[in-house]
Amino acid sequence: GGQPLGQPLSVGGAINLGGFALPWQNLIIVVSAIALMGATALFLTRTKTGRAIRATAQNPDAAKLMGVPVARVYLQVLILSGMLAGVCGVLVSSITQLSPSLGADPMLKAFIMCVVAGLGNLPGAIITSFGLAIVEALVQFLAGARWGFPALLAIVILVLIRRPGGLFGRVEVRRL
């Protein structure tokens, strides 16, 4: 049917830390996200396949000339991104309801994170994602839930005005 469903995979309970409670489910999601980001970063920097992916991303023609099977690298990236999206979908759906539009909000926030961080710097993207999440939560706590997303958009506008390549991105100059 067309009604949203709750996902049966969840962990109950919470950790009481002083004046607030941290649900186990949220802690599992944060730890899993950090582990996935770290594993992806290690995979891209420490393996032969990761080097091939980075070389193909920088210059597919040069990578092909160096013997990198570019078509296979594209397939590997598609498989890797699908696996990461599947795990993230399970994690996100464990704290919300399953519906066709479930991924729209996280996808838009991921786009905002990529614009603010800049492309080509995975540690910068990780730092930016947590920084934006903290800013959004703080704005929602202080000003109300409806102001969290506009605050992210304001940050995007400021970053694009001041640093069009992003906070951690490198400006690339191509001469013809």
Among 36-40, 79-83, 101-105, name the one with the lowest average pLDDT: 101-105
| Tokens at 9, concatenated | 């995979």
- For residues 130 and 167, what is the distance between their CA atoms, to the nearest angstrom? 14
User: Does residue 98 register a pLDDT over 90?
Assistant: no
Question: What is the band of 97 on the pLDDT scale with cuts at 50, 70, 90?
Answer: confident
Question: pTM for the whole thing?
Answer: 0.75
Q: The tokens 């000003």 sit on which residue?
A: 143
User: Does residue 2 register a pLDDT over 80?
Assistant: no
Mean predicted confidence (pLDDT) in 132-146: 94
- pLDDT computed for residue 77 by the predictor: 96
- pLDDT computed for residue 157 by the predictor: 94
Q: What is the pLDDT of residues 125-135, one digit of tens each?
A: 888 988 999 99
Q: Is residue 108 within 8 Å of 23, Cβ to Cβ? A: no
- pLDDT computed for residue 19 by the predictor: 82
Q: What is the pLDDT of residues 156-169, one digit of tens each?
A: 999 999 988 888 87
Listed in sequence order, the residues at least 6 apart from 90 whose beta carbon sits closer than 8 Å to its beta carbon are 7, 9
